[in-house]
Amino acid sequence: MMGLTLSTFATQPASGSTVTDPITSDPVVTVGSDSDIGSLREEAAKIGILFGSGAIKASDSIDDGRPPNYLTDPDFARVLAEQFDSVHSENEMKYRFVEPQQGVFDFTGPDRLVKFAQEQGMQVKGHALITTCCDPQYLVDKVNDPAAFRALMTKHITTIMKRYKGKMDRWDVVVEPLSTMGGQGLQHTDFYNALGPGYIAEAFRIAHRADPTAKLYVNENLVESYPEKRKEFYDLVDGLVADEVPIDGVALQMHETLQGPPAGVIIEMADHFHAKGLAVSISELDVHTLDPVTQAQIYGDVVTEALNAGIRDISTWGFTDKHLYTWLPGAKPCLFDENYNPKPAYFAVRDALRAYGRKVQASP
């Protein structure tokens, strides 16, 4: 989520969309009080899903331009443990942060996050092995030497996967392989330039060999908003499945800006991938608006449709505006404010989880 702009993330449906109607249900907003806040973690457990938070920085480094180790804040750690049952890191597992020098790994942050999660009975997702950013110079220098580049990639993925075998149960293996707005196919990243489009399948196979027990995902953004990109994503993933690449699921980021996704598009995507035998997760949900009521409605509607689509793993991108990312000036995209008070968006998500639970209980 580094170096992006509002225009990149505005969720205006592209022309030619087959899913055009915006979500128009009433806002799922409850005016809560301290006595009835509840817990997203508890509500998720009742319906058998994971509800987690990503963007949890446990590293002491500030090389990514972010504050160090959020877990040193007792209120941050308390709310995280009370409200969520799954975590994944912010930047510290991306290539140049976890292996800043060739063969020299910095596992301080990931180890700390795993320890915290184990103490709190939480699951940990690995994020991320290959991204469009954050390649160290020693790797970039080998782009024109495919054999050397492949050797570095193999050592990197294998070392990380083996270290966290049994500790991180699922992984974002490749993040944002497609061009941002769609229509241009795969991004020409260092991995693409060195190894061609087959780098994705190679990465999955390396990861699977290193830890056959881990569930492996490809993670993509904006596919809910741009039909052409969505079609490209279908084609990419369908091709991996057809080639018997060991892929277990897809992670839909769901960074929403100004408006939510077109109604029905989450169900459409989930149906497509479930039919291929793949799991579907929402991996980085946040909502960038200037109006808290609109924000709450979008959060509630996205979670409701995801649950109705059979998605059983939902994570936000952070949970407090104290450590927000945003490309919309003035937006505060998280469920809790800077002082860890729940916002209308929080209650919308809580109520969506509760409503789904009632629906399940009422079904024959």
Active site annotation includes 82: no
d(CA 222, CA 141) in angstroms, rounded, equals 31
d(CA 244, CA 240) in angstroms, rounded, equals 6
Q: What is the SS3 assignment for 285?
A: strand
d(CA 80, CA 300) in angstroms, rounded, equals 20
Type of residue at 47: I
Active site annotation includes 43: no
Type of residue at 220: E
Alpha-carbon separation of residue 94 from 97, 157, 172, 174, 188 (angstroms): 6, 11, 11, 11, 18
Type of residue at 35: S
Go through 334-357 and write b for each residue having 16 or more CB atoms within 10 A of its CB, e for each that does not. Answer: bbbbeebebbbbbbbbbbbbbbbb
Considering only CA atoms, which of 90, 28, 101 is closest in space to residue 318?
90
Who contacts 59 (Cβ-Cβ below 8 Å, separation ≥6)?
A: 68, 69, 89, 91, 92, 97, 106, 108, 109, 112
User: Where do we find the tokens 């390396």?
Assistant: 206
Q: What is the SS3 assignment for 126?
A: strand
Selected catalytic residue, list 90, 176, 228, 256: 176
Q: Is 73 left (phi over 0), alpha (psi -120 to 50) or beta?
A: beta
Instruction: Enter the tokens of residue 161.
Output: 């996967």
Selected catalytic residue, list 90, 220, 284, 305: 284
Contact 148, 112 (CB under 8 A): no
Considering only CA atoms, which of 314, 262, 323, 261 is closest in space to residue 287?
261
Contact 302, 51 (CB under 8 A): no
- Catalytic residues, by residue number, are 176, 284
